[in-house]
Amino acid sequence: MSGEFDLADIERRMAGAVNSLHGELSGLRTGRASASLLEPITVDAYGAKMPLNQVATISVPEPRMLSVQVWDRGMVAAVEKAIRESSLGLNPQSEGQVLRVPIPELNEQRRKELVKVAHKYAEDARVAVRHVRRDGMDKVKKLLKDKAIGEDDEKRHTAEIQKATDSAVGEIDAVLASKEKEIMQV
């Protein structure tokens, strides 16, 4: 009997850290246009802060250009202001209800800064995974101490937790390597 050891819960929490990393990295600007780049931007609309994708359609007509189709003509100026004032360094050009947002070329220094940020996000994700691992290991030790499981089960569970940890950290490293390659690609 394995007491209340739940490997699926541990794996789910580790996958959460990896998914969170995916989200953070998608917000990092590379030299290529991506609709997800503008997703974190909020617009002052109708007396509230609204996500950009709730007042406009974002598309990628060219590799270095975003197109933002604003649904309400009265919102064009607010959307343009929100994009311009974001920390992304973008300069939208208005053409009626469509904003064209050119994605400038990244210089070498900016690329290196982005890689550092990506490494920090990845390290935060690794730390989160290690916290989940420690929680799991603590639970297994407690189950052994309370005699809810035997030493064989403890060894097996410890190995399962370590395997899940190695898998999650491996995925984090792969995601980081892919993003780093994307950022440094000229």
| 13-18-22 Cα angle (round to 5) | 140
The tokens for 160 are 């399962």
The answer to whether the pTM exceeds 0.75 is: no
Same domain, 152 and 96: no
CA distance 154 to 77: 62
| Inside any domain, residue 1 | no
The enclosing domain of 16 has a CATH number of: 1.10.132.20
Structure tokens at 59: 């598309």
Residue 2 within a domain: no
Q: Residue 182: what pLDDT?
A: 84
- The reported pLDDT for the residue numbered 111 is 84
Could you tell me how many residues make up the chain? 186
Q: Are residues 115 and 97 in the same domain?
A: no
Domain endpoint, select from 66, 81, 102:
102
Assigned domain for 178 exists: yes
Classified as helix, coil or strand, 57 is: strand
Kindly report, residue by residue over 67-95, the tens digit of the pLDDT. 999 999 999 999 999 998 886 778 899 99
Domain of residue 164 covers 7-26+107-184
Single out the residue in 82, 102, 122 at which a domain terminates.
Answer: 102
Q: Rounded to whole angstroms, how far apart are CA atoms 58 and 49? A: 18
Confidence label for 3 from pLDDT (cuts 50, 70 and 90): low
Rg of the chain on CA atoms, in Å: 22
**Does position 2 have pLDDT exceeding 60, yes or no?**
no
- Using left for φ > 0, alpha for ψ between -120 and 50, and beta otherwise, residue 3 falls in left
Residue 87 belongs to some domain of the structure: yes
User: According to the model, what pLDDT value does residue 1 have?
Assistant: 39
The dihedrals phi and psi of 18, each to the nearest 5 degrees, come to -65, -45
Q: Are 172 and 130 members of one domain? A: yes
Of 80, 102, 124, the residue at which a domain comes to its end is 102
DSSP 68-105: EEESSGGGHHHHHHHHHHSTT----EEETTEEEEE-PP
Distance of CA 121 to the CA centre of its chain: 8
Residue 94 lies in a domain: yes
Same domain, 44 and 98: yes
Kindly tell me the burial class for residue 159, based on how many C-beta atoms sit within 10 Å of its own C-beta (0-12, 13-18, 19 or more).
exposed
**Counted domains in the chain:** 2
User: Do the beta carbons of residue 114 and residue 106 sit within 8 Å?
Assistant: yes
Residue pair 171/32 in contact (Cβ under 8 Å)? The answer is no
User: 21 and 42: one domain?
Assistant: no
Q: Are residues 91 and 54 both part of a single domain?
A: yes
Residues 130 and 164 occupy one common structural domain: yes
pLDDT in tens, 148-174: 999 999 999 999 999 999 999 999 999
Same domain flag for 178 and 148: yes
Same domain, yes or no, for 22 and 112?
yes
Q: Are residues 44 and 94 in the same domain?
A: yes
Q: Are residues 127 and 78 in the same domain?
A: no
The answer to whether residues 122 and 162 belong to one domain is: yes
Cα dist. 74→14, 69, 102, 136, 152 in Å? Answer: 44, 13, 23, 53, 68
